[in-house]
């Protein structure tokens, strides 16, 4: 089966390319090859390539910038997804799409389930939620995979930032009152390929929304502490910097951050019969890869 991957140069897009099973013929297009906001270009490219499945890893992901660049965020995260949905529906093929914990208000105290009420608090979350809705309206067979706190060896993310800052400073402050589930880009890519495999093999694949969040949940402060402990053990840092726990209001950002970002992944894990990914194990794999020097630290 031919699979078209959009946003193929992003951190999840690149993991999708390198973890693609042999059963699929993969065509990865970056934003220069296919800008998903151009409806005609999307329709023409999909009609030309005739894929059996589209995986959309393209998104406007600059959460803070989105507050002042809303038009572009909506164009990519809502209209771009609508364009893909429309092109897929014309061919009668499904779309696997990635979304975010930011569709929720972040004021819960138990893990969010797929059926919980959404309530984004910023432009990024609102535009991603609108993308989910556009997909559901435009495409009869689709998966929305909501995930959180993505990290990996390919691309920029919190782990890479901590490694850089940890080298430069003896002390740093990290927010301790936001709770979430760090999720490796590799774990997301593996799940998307498992879903694609089910579709290929005509196994039951109930379309709709699924959550995937690494376990156990933690705060950014705890995440940073683990990053530094593992990085020192790997010899990526010569010593661990001191990490100070601060409150959200001590680190103001243009976009409001959800205090509670924990997603309940049980629907997905029971569908696929898989364990929920443990982020500390995935962090080890990422740091091992950085240590081997296969990829640039940042």
Ligand X SMILES: NC(=O)c1ccc[n+]([C@@H]2O[C@H](COP(=O)([O-])OP(=O)(O)OC[C@H]3O[C@@H](n4cnc5c(N)ncnc54)[C@H](OP(=O)(O)O)[C@@H]3O)[C@@H](O)[C@H]2O)c1
Q: How many other β-carbons are positioned within 10 Å of the β-carbon of residue 91?
A: 16
Tell whether omega for the bond before 216 is within 30 degrees of 0, i.e. cis: yes
Of the pair 93, 185, the CB lying nearest ligand X is at 185
Which residue minimizes CB distance to ligand X?
10
Active site residue 210: no
Closest approach of ligand X to the CB of residue 42, in Å: 9
Of the pair 7, 120, the CB lying nearest ligand X is at 7
User: Does 74 interact with ligand X (rule: CB under 6 A)?
Assistant: no
Compute how many residues bind ligand X; rule: CB under 6 A: 28
* CA-to-CA dists, residue 257 to 21, 88, 103, 182, 251, angstroms: 36, 33, 11, 15, 10
Choose one: 9-17, 109-117, 190-198, 284-292; the region binding ligand X (CB under 6 A): 9-17
Q: Which of 37, 184, 225, 269 binds ligand X (CB under 6 A)?
A: 37
Q: Which of 3, 10, 55, 279 binds ligand X (CB under 6 A)?
A: 10
What three-state secondary structure class fits 214? coil
Cα-Cα-Cα-Cα dihedral sign, residues 197, 200, 201, 206: positive
Phi/psi at 208 (5° precision): 140, -155
Site pattern 99..138 for ligand X (x: CB under 6 A): -x---------------------------x----------
- Which residues neighbour 64 within 8 Å (Cβ) at sequence distance 6 or greater? 253, 254, 255
Active-site residue (options: 60, 102, 112, 124): 124
Of the pair 199, 257, the CB lying nearest ligand X is at 257
Which tokens go with 60?
């406007």
Which tokens go with 292?
């081997």
Closest approach of ligand X to the CB of residue 198, in Å: 21
Closest approach of ligand X to the CB of residue 183, in Å: 7
Footprint of ligand X on 140-199 (CB under 6 A):
147-150, 155
Site pattern 38..57 for ligand X (x: CB under 6 A): -------------------x
Q: Say how many residues make up the chain.
A: 298
Phi/psi at 13 (5° precision): -55, -45
CA dist., res. 19 & res. 257, Å (int): 31
Of the pair 34, 54, the CB lying nearest ligand X is at 34
Of the pair 6, 225, the CB lying nearest ligand X is at 6
CA dist., res. 25 & res. 192, Å (int): 15
**For residues 166 and 226, is the Cβ–Cβ distance under 8 A?**
no
Q: Which of 4, 5, 7, 127 binds ligand X (CB under 6 A)?
A: 7
**For residues 112 and 211, is the Cβ–Cβ distance under 8 A?**
yes
Of the pair 49, 240, the CB lying nearest ligand X is at 49
Q: Which of 19, 27, 31, 256 binds ligand X (CB under 6 A)?
A: 31
Q: Nearest CA to 281 among 239, 243, 226?
A: 226
Residues at the site binding ligand X, with contacts judged by CB under 6 A: 6-7, 9-13, 30-31, 34-37, 57-61, 76, 80, 98, 100, 128, 147-150, 155
Active site residues: 124
């Amino acid at each position: 089966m031919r699979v078209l991957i959009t946003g193929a140069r992003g951190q999840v897009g690149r993991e999708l390319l390198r973890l693609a099973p042999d059963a699929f013929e993969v065509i990865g297009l970056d934003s220069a090859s296919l800008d998903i906001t151009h409806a005609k270009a999307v329709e023409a490219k999909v009609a030309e390539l005739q894929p059996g499945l589209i995986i959309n890893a393209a998104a406007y992901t600059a959460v803070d910038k989105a507050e002042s660049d809303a038009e572009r965020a909506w164009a990519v995260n809502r209209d771009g997804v609508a364009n893909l949905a429309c092109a897929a529906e014309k061919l009668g093929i499904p779309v696997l799409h990635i979304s975010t914990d930011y569709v929720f208000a972040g004021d819960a105290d138990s893990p969010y389930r797929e059926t919980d009420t959404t309530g984004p608090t910023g432009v990024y979350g609102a535009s991603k939620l609108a993308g989910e809705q556009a997909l559901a309206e435009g495409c009869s067979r689709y998966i929305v995979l909501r995930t959180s706190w993505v990290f990996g060896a390919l691309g920029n993310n919190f782990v890479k930032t901590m490694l850089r800052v940890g080298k430069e400073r003896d002390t740093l402050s990290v927010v301790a009152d936001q709770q979430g589930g760090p999720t490796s880009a590799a774990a997301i890519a593996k799940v998307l390929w498992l879903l694609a495999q089910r579709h290929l093999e005509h196994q039951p694949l109930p379309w709709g929304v699924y959550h995937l969040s690494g376990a156990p949940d933690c705060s950014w402060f705890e995440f940073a502490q683990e990053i530094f402990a593992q990085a020192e053990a790997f010899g990526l840092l010569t010593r661990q910097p001191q990490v100070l726990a601060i409150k959200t209001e001590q680190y103001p950002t243009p976009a409001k951050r959800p205090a509670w970002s924990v997603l309940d992944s049980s629907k997905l894990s029971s569908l696929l019969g898989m364990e929920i990914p443990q982020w500390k194990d995935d962090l080890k794999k990422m740091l091992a890869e950085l240590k081997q020097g296969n990829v640039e630290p940042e």
